[in-house]
Structure 1
Amino acid sequence: MSTTTPEYDYDIYDSRSGVAIAAVSACLSVAFTAVALRVYTRAVMIRQFGADDWAAVVAYLLALASGLFVATNVMFGHGKHLAYVIQEGIPLWKYFRHFYISIVLYNGSLTATKLTFLLQYYRILGGTGRMRKAVIVAFVIVGLWSVSQLLVVIFTCSPIEKFWNSDLPGTCIPNLPFWYINAAGNIVTDIIVFLLPLPSLTRLNLRKGQKLGLIGVFSLGFFTCAISVIRIQYLKLSTDVTWDNVPSSCWSIGELCSGITCACLPTLRPLLAKVIPGMSIHSQSSQQKYYRRSTGRDFSNASRLKSTDENGSSRGIMYPEDLEMQSDNGSDKEIRIAVNRQDGSSNFNKDSSRSLDKLRLGLNTTVKTEIKVGTPTHGAWSQDGYPRGIEVKRDFITTTRES
């Protein structure tokens, strides 16, 4: 009795499991670096760890879990031809169970990433009523869409186990066109999220170069949209699902990591200013001297700081890094800043921060450079652990209130 072996137009022993592992490892490493730097900057440097930072951490942990399920699924045939998997007797239900869990975690991470952006916008751009309302509306729309898609993915089959065990009685939502609808909706909500801050950024009272750089950083999110568009063409899988699913899963993890990285980049300016001093413009001011304890304070933490120019006019002084954003909403601009002051004394008192108030700026607002930070002394460090005699020049904003 002779047996015949099915013939295929490909080598069933081909494998691209290594591609899946390499892609997942590379993407997750980049995202981990961005999140770790964000956590260090926000929690250690400026001590302003907030809801958007927690959302970024949650988004990464979900992306990490999704990536791990994609990578470990190679044990059950991911990256191999289905014919090889069947020939080797690898249980397909284990492959599809890992596949299901990775999809759920993918949608959870995507939801957390979008919420990270929106919470971040509310924190740094929520100083004006118009922007605050826009962020809240976007939060409701994007939140409802993302949560609804997450629930649909979780309960795509009834019972849930039918997703990986087709022999069970029950029903499942067809993968197509649901995956296309899900992808298209995510792209639309991504565009809404990434377009939302641009009008406010264009109205910031910053120099042109600073403004363009800031807009460029926030616009990097559109790179995630491009990845989402590319991913769509890989959603349709043939019967050789274990082989065809490699590009789709890799682009999915890449999409998550790209979004998380882009969400973290705007928060890293204080760290970059510390690591690369050349980012600051050097000069000196003979007026009052200030010690900047931290940068990138939130709108919720603010203090009033004033100085007097050579003509005796009262001026408000703030640093772009401390203020993070300045919104322009008509003729009256409301800014909140957080700066600790050192009144020429040799020792810095940790409890000497000014009371937290709002600083309303008038029409005469200009951006200048050349100030001196710190009190010039010969001692390198104070007993409190803060540096002395270090001249740090920063851009600053001066305002003259009309009487």
Structure 2
Amino acid sequence: MSTTMLDPSAYDSRAGVPIAVVTVCLAVATVCVAMRVYSRAVLIHQFGMDDWAAVIALLLAIGSGSMVASNTIYGAGHHIAVVDQTLLWKYFRTFYISIVLYNGSLTATKIAFLLQYYRVLTTKKMQNIILIALAFISLWSISQLLVVIFTCTPIEKFWLGDAMEGTCVPNLPFWYINAAGNIITDVVIFVVPLPALGSLNLRKTQKLLLIAIFSLGFFTCAISIIRVQYLHLSDDVTWDNVASSCWSVGEICSGITCACLPTLRPLLSKCVPSMRSPSGNGSSGRGYHQKSSGRDGTSERSRAKTTDSMSGSSRAIIYPEDLELQATDSEERPNQDRLVGLKDTLGSGSQYNGARDKLGLRPTVRTEVSLGSPHLGPDWSSQLPTEGHMKISVKHDFTMTKEYKDSNR
């Protein structure tokens, strides 16, 4: 019996690399999604469709990463010459599952980004652009996912190879096309909101910070570009595929993390009270009131939290990611100017009210009465003066909000 002598380097192993990469990347993504869920569901009670998409993306990423890490059992990270040949079909089956889950996670992440933009950027022009991008990118991503699932006919041929009759889509042309399409759609996703973010009615520092957070998505694009060079695999697939698999896990986890970062302002404000005021000064007495459109399921409980407290804190807290960002002045002012002109012409009677309703504008008057010092404790009645004068302040807030019709109500 003859034996083949292998070079000592053939016994090298880097099986620990995918395990370490998967552990770190999934840990970061999981923490970010958990903080997002806590911020959106617990702190502000506005858990919406974009949040569900982020959770689904994470679950699919965990599945894909688990397949990448567990594939070391079947030879991943070792040279194919020293891998038990009876395990190779299990290696390719696990590899197939990881590819399907990878594409599913990418699809859910892209949808999460676009649904988040649709919730936050409420101007009609931006929402139309986002809907077009959502339709195009969703169709592209779903089509790629279907091609991956049915890359071989029958599907089992992917891991059984020549042992089963059938046909398969050539890997290299498809993988390159898939990677190029993902890079293009990623760039589109991260570019779409930047012009709108630049026109927001926020302080310059807030605006720059918000743009910077959204621009972190280009880091995901960079990972996608780097990953392309590792798609070409030699016959030593169990060794070569380590780098490609690691970059794939890093790509989906980076996308999930970037999608979650803009939603963490409520949690940061809870930990750092100075971030609660829109002006960046926690002691500021000026607040803002945002009327929810009801599109994301805002509850009365969450709206009630925006009322004044008697501890001297800000009357209301708005967060850049959760305020359904107000339209630019150029879009809202025409209706307001027309309303003022109608009032001058029609007076304040029923004709004016009807015209106002057609414009979708609603006035809101809120009256607040403060008695005595705003720093009175729980036993406030014992602290009231028995003689002399007591200070009573009455504050009126008049706001004009645009009404959005909700067919579900």
- TM-score normalized by structure 1? 0.76
Shift of 1:48: 0.8
Aligned to 2:370: none
Mark the CA change 1:55 to 1:272 in structure 2 (over 3 Å): closer, same or farther. same
Higher-helix-fraction structure: 2
Is 1:17–2:12 an aligned residue pair? no
Shift of 1:278: 3.1
1:141 to 136, 151, 156: 136
Higher gyration radius (CA): 2
- Per-residue displacement from partner, 1:332-385 (whole Å, max 9, x unpaired)? 269xxxxxxxxxxxxxxxxxxxxxxx8779xxxxxxxxxxxx95331399xxxx
1:65 to 55, 63, 66: 63
CA distance in 1, matches of 2:241, 2:82: 15
Is 1:99–2:126 an aligned residue pair? no
- Per-residue displacement from partner, 1:163-209 (whole Å, max 9, x unpaired)? 00011001101111110000000000001111111111011011111
Mark the CA change 1:246 to 1:298 in structure 2 (over 3 Å): closer, same or farther. farther
Aligned to 1:163: 158
Aligned to 2:2: 3
CA distance in 1, matches of 2:39, 2:187: 27
Q: For 1:199-210, list aligned pairs within 5 A.
A: 199-210=195-206
1:132 to 98, 107, 127: 127
Aligned to 2:187: 191
Aligned to 2:368: none
Query: CA contact under 8 A between 1:66 and 1:106: conserved in structure 2?
Result: yes
Shift of 1:77: 0.3
Mark the CA change 1:201 to 1:359 in structure 2 (over 3 Å): closer, same or farther. farther
Q: For 1:255-274, list aligned pairs within 5 A.
A: 255-274=251-270
Shift of 1:12: 1.8
CA distance in 2, matches of 1:189, 1:257: 17
Aligned to 1:393: none
Is 1:283–2:278 an aligned residue pair? no
SS where residue 28 of structure 2 aligns?
Answer: helix
CA distance in 1, matches of 2:43, 2:307: 24
Mark the CA change 1:284 to 1:235 in structure 2 (over 3 Å): closer, same or farther. closer
Instruction: List runs of 5+ in structure 2 lacking aligned partners.
Output: 309-314, 335-359, 364-372, 381-396, 402-409
Mark the CA change 1:94 to 1:400 in structure 2 (over 3 Å): closer, same or farther. closer
Query: CA contact under 8 A between 2:93 and 2:159: conserved in structure 1?
Result: yes
Aligned to 1:46: 44
CA distance in 2, matches of 1:248, 1:49: 35
Aligned to 1:325: 325
CA distance in 2, matches of 1:276, 1:296: 25
SS where residue 11 of structure 2 aligns?
Answer: coil
Aligned to 2:348: none
Mark the CA change 1:378 to 1:249 in structure 2 (over 3 Å): closer, same or farther. same
Query: CA contact under 8 A between 1:332 and 1:360: conserved in structure 2?
Result: no
Query: CA contact under 8 A between 1:298 and 1:323: conserved in structure 2?
Result: no
Alignment-mate amino acid for residue 138 of structure 1: A
Aligned to 2:405: none
SS where residue 236 of structure 1 aligns?
Answer: coil
Aligned to 2:107: 111
Query: CA contact under 8 A between 2:15 and 2:78: conserved in structure 1?
Result: yes
Alignment-mate amino acid for residue 379 of structure 1: P
Shift of 1:90: 4.3
- TM-score normalized by structure 2? 0.75
Mark the CA change 1:297 to 1:244 in structure 2 (over 3 Å): closer, same or farther. farther
CA distance in 2, matches of 1:333, 1:11: 72
Query: CA contact under 8 A between 1:158 and 1:171: conserved in structure 2?
Result: yes
Shift of 1:13: 1.4
Query: CA contact under 8 A between 2:197 and 2:211: conserved in structure 1?
Result: yes
Which range moved further: 156-165 or 274-283? 274-283
Mark the CA change 1:250 to 1:284 in structure 2 (over 3 Å): closer, same or farther. closer
Aligned to 1:379: 378
Aligned to 2:342: none
Mark the CA change 1:220 to 1:200 in structure 2 (over 3 Å): closer, same or farther. same
Shift of 1:325: 2.6
Mark the CA change 1:84 to 1:132 in structure 2 (over 3 Å): closer, same or farther. same
- Per-residue displacement from partner, 1:24-61 (whole Å, max 9, x unpaired)? 00000000000000000011111111100000000000
CA distance in 2, matches of 1:271, 1:398: 30
CA distance in 2, matches of 1:101, 1:117: 25
